[in-house]
Structure 1
């Protein structure tokens, strides 16, 4: 679908690795891909590349992409920004894509695109310098949370809040949930029904839990998605809500990808997974 040698020739610089692909469907039905492209400096010197569907068919075996550009995010040759989590779709057909900066300090930002996939601008999510990989969770059309990985020892899941649809953000106190410097995934499936996939033990990614909240502040574990020995790792979760079912994927020991499909309960119980 995307080849690093071909992409490097199209962009005019060497690409050593491609990773963290995030897909989005624009208002015209075209698939956009946002990928991390690394050069000589590893992940911390990476760029976010925006590609757009160039094929006429959306069939997986026919999809082809052409680069739009490297997103203009940094004065330092647009380096050290990474994408990982899914975008949040907007009522106007556009979307907001969460990314983070990773060279030295870490900080999360939100990128806004219109319905055709044109880049409109960036807003910093948190003033703190140790939070990364934001996951955007919609509570209402204007009220969203950003839930974030904490790189500090004995860290907690970081939180920021917007009340104007992502234009401006303010930091909130950390959640009471431990975070072992590990990525989280979150989503709002209905008003008052927020979901979070997260590693729940300090110093280990051996347990991956699914938690639920009504307000984004108080969370209760719904179930353990995966658990193992202390050196096992179940990490980098992603979630999708399709036909009232929750799909969760995650890496196992960073070697393979596992997934689970969780059916929702009848509506009279609140519709929780």
Structure 2
């Protein structure tokens, strides 16, 4: 944690190129508390040589970003990172003007430093994404993008002004915004996470805002141009963020809060089809008063990495190996996981 930060939330993990001295970069927001005026986006990197996290630094400041954009930013949160086809880091950040998170916009920033080492890493604002006629509100970002074969990606975002629904944004290989489409017609789903179940079929799994909610499901099959809602998973969702990752077709992992009315239990589950899930690891097991939330996952350096908020005061992380002797994610069993050395 930065030395002056009392709170932390909403981490995001980015796998770095094999040539980088860092295995991965972690981003999160830190400050006195969520929505505090001094909240900034912090970052740290896991060094390949030392196998340690380097001391963090702030990489996005709302005052500096607002000055460069020419418009004020009242608060920031929820960073999500992506590497474009040229290896440049794009960082998408929730930003607000007047109003709370329901009036959020998505700030698209791009790496402005020549290198990606943490000491020199800097970002410059590109623009607020043009998603709504009403000053681009109320769209927010939370989950990792789904990479595409052409080098572009699909960024899952969500609308939450009054009603809530998930949206998919498409970007080309350079990071240029191409277009958007609504994922679900339901009005209580948000914070989608995307899984590629085959070369042509995708699943979107959603946080459910309803009491006694279950993880929501939308499907896009056979390369079709339209998303369709499907039956929710039997997995409970206490109005909490989830994180999903496709290691390969037939091998998917999901981190989710597994207690009906609390974020005190955090599970890592596995699936072959993205619809039937089996608990593989209990990441955290506390009381109803505890909070382990807003997970992120990435495959990097031959391991599965997981990060999440620990009681809103720090970011926790765990690293796992696939225990069937496979040397890569593509050949690994999604049901056998163990702590990495």
TM range (shorter): over 0.9
Q: Contact 2:213–2:237 at 8 Å: present in 1 too?
A: yes
Identify which of 98, 106, 120 aligns with 2:164: 106
- Assess, with a 3 A threshold, how the Cα gap between structure 1 residues 97 and 168 changes in structure 2: closer, same or farther: same
- Assess, with a 3 A threshold, how the Cα gap between structure 1 residues 198 and 166 changes in structure 2: closer, same or farther: farther
Aligned to 2:221: 163
For 1:24-103, list aligned pairs within 5 A: 24-103=82-161
Shift of 1:139: 1.1
For 1:1-273, list aligned pairs within 5 A: 1-164=59-222, 167-267=225-325, 270=333, 272-273=336-337
1:134-170: per-residue Cα shift (whole Å, max 9, x none)?
0011112221111100000010000001125584211
| More moved, 126-135 vs 10-19 | 10-19
Shift of 1:222: 0.6
Shift of 1:38: 1.5
Q: Which runs of 5+ in 2 are unaligned?
A: 1-58, 327-331
Q: How many residue pairs were aligned? A: 273
1:91-122: per-residue Cα shift (whole Å, max 9, x none)?
10100000000100000000000000000000
Q: Contact 1:247–1:262 at 8 Å: present in 2 too?
A: yes
| More moved, 150-159 vs 214-223 | 214-223
> What SS class does the counterpart of residue 119 from structure 2 fall into?
helix
RCO (CA 8 Å, sep 6+): is it higher in 1 or 2? 2
Q: 1-side partners of 2:168 and 2:274: how far apart?
A: 19
Q: Which runs of 5+ in 1 are unaligned?
A: none
Q: 2-side partners of 1:204 and 1:96: how far apart?
A: 30
Shift of 1:69: 0.9
Q: 1-side partners of 2:224 and 2:67: how far apart?
A: 35
> What SS class does the counterpart of residue 61 from structure 1 fall into?
coil
Q: Contact 1:123–1:167 at 8 Å: present in 2 too?
A: no
Q: 2-side partners of 1:143 and 1:267: how far apart?
A: 28
Q: 2-side partners of 1:54 and 1:165: how far apart?
A: 35
Shift of 1:230: 1.4
> What SS class does the counterpart of residue 8 from structure 1 fall into?
helix
